[in-house]
Structure 1
């Protein structure tokens, strides 16, 4: 009896895509840590612009959530999540550039390298094939 598509076991994601998903989860975890630090600073600071501080903390929390959701969507093989993930990584490169300009060169270089690495992993041919993005196979 032939197997139906629902019974066919799913092909495991390639290493490049799995690595990208785990790095996105690691970025989300880093943003959670940043959010906790910002919340601590808001609660313990003597003089602070409370509105700006709360907005910055909320923005960091939102960033953590978005990174997690995009990582989960990529892990589920949703091709539509790749574009937003790449945009976020390019934004990370911009943050890295300004950190270099601001005197934190080691951290800026690290962020740029992370962003470029993730872009490369998501654009790698095995990841593209797993997501069903790009040119179809040219096999005859």
Structure 2
């Protein structure tokens, strides 16, 4: 019989922290997109608004999933992993576009958080 403490295991704790940090950074990007939408001289308004809404939606999704994982909700792990793995193609296209200094760390972040989410201590804490 194991006794489950109230404290999250270290890998889960760090996964939650990193997801929240990603949410904050994406919120800053979304705020910049709002500013860019308002100050652009010419733009395809529907496309600009769609990209901005997507950034805000991603921010909300990351924040909510981090909170659910912090409360040990097992159902939040798979969507969080999917969002993290979405950083792989984003990072790849950044590398292809000459932004390897940003693309490579994004890919490492996605793989790292995914690894934290599937680690044995996290798996046990989520009840799998």
TM-score (norm 1): 0.87
Q: Of 99, 104, 110, which residue of structure 1 is paired with 2:105?
A: 110
Confirm whether residue 79 of structure 1 aligns to residue 74 of structure 2. Answer: yes
Query: What's the CA shift for 1:19?
Result: 0.3
Query: What's the CA shift for 1:51?
Result: 1.0
Partner of 2:114: 119
Residue deviations 1:52-97, cap 9 Å, x none? 1011101100000000010000000001100001111111111101
Partner of 2:34: 39
Structure with greater helix share of residues: 2
3-state DSSP of counterpart to 2:72: coil
Query: How many residues are matched?
Result: 126
TM-score (norm 2): 0.95
Q: Which has the higher contact order (CA 8 A, sep 6+)?
A: 2
3-state DSSP of counterpart to 2:86: helix
RMSD over aligned Cα atoms: 1.4
3-state DSSP of counterpart to 2:12: helix
Q: Of 25, 34, 38, which residue of structure 1 is paired with 2:20?
A: 25
Partner of 2:43: 48
Query: What's the CA shift for 1:10?
Result: 4.8
Which protein has the larger Cα radius of gyration, Structure 1 or Structure 2?
1
